Amino acid sequence: MKKDQMNLYKQPALVNILITDYCNQSCSFCFARKEMKMAAKKEMSMKSYKLILKKCANAGVRRIVLAGGEPTIHSKFSEMLTHTINSNFIVNINTNGIYSDTVENAILSGGYRTVVYFNISTPGFLSSSKIRKMILQRINRLVGKIKVVLIVTNQFLMLQPVKRNIDLIGDELLSKVSIRIGVEGPVAGENNYTTLDQFPLIGNNFFKTYQYLISHSPQKILFSKSITPCMFSQEQRKKLIEDGYMQIFHCHPESENFWFSINCDLTTFMCYPLSTRDRKSINNKTSFEEVRDYYKKLQLKYDLKYVLPECKSCPFFGLTLGKCPGPCASFRLNAMDKIKINSERWIS
Q: Fill in the DSSP letter of residue 39.
A: S
Burial of 173 by CB count in 10 Å (0-12 exposed, 13-18 middle, 19+ buried)? middle
Residues of the chain with pLDDT > 70, as a percent, come to 88
pLDDT of residue 277: 87
In a domain, 1, yes or no: no
Q: How confident is residue 163, by pLDDT bands cut at 50, 70 and 90?
A: very high
Report yes or no: 30 and 76 within 8 Å, Cβ to Cβ.
no
Total domains in the fold of the chain: 1
pLDDT greater than 80 at residue 34: no
In a domain, 184, yes or no: yes
* CATH code, 295: 3.20.20.70
- Give the tens place of pLDDT for each residue, 89-135: 999 999 999 999 999 999 999 998 999 999 999 999 999 999 999 99
pLDDT greater than 80 at residue 322: no
| Higher per-residue confidence, 6 vs 181 | 181
Complete edge-to-edge strand list for the sheet that includes strand 63-67: 220-223, 178-183, 147-154, 114-119, 90-95, 63-67, 14-18, 258-262, 267-269, 280-281
In a domain, 3, yes or no: no
Read out DSSP for 102-113?
HHHHHHHHTGGG
In a domain, 238, yes or no: yes
- Domain carrying residue 21: 8-347
In a domain, 150, yes or no: yes
pLDDT greater than 50 at residue 333: yes
pLDDT greater than 60 at residue 179: yes
Radius of gyration of the chain (CA): 20
In a domain, 2, yes or no: no
In a domain, 174, yes or no: yes
Cα separation of 142 and 177, whole Å?
10
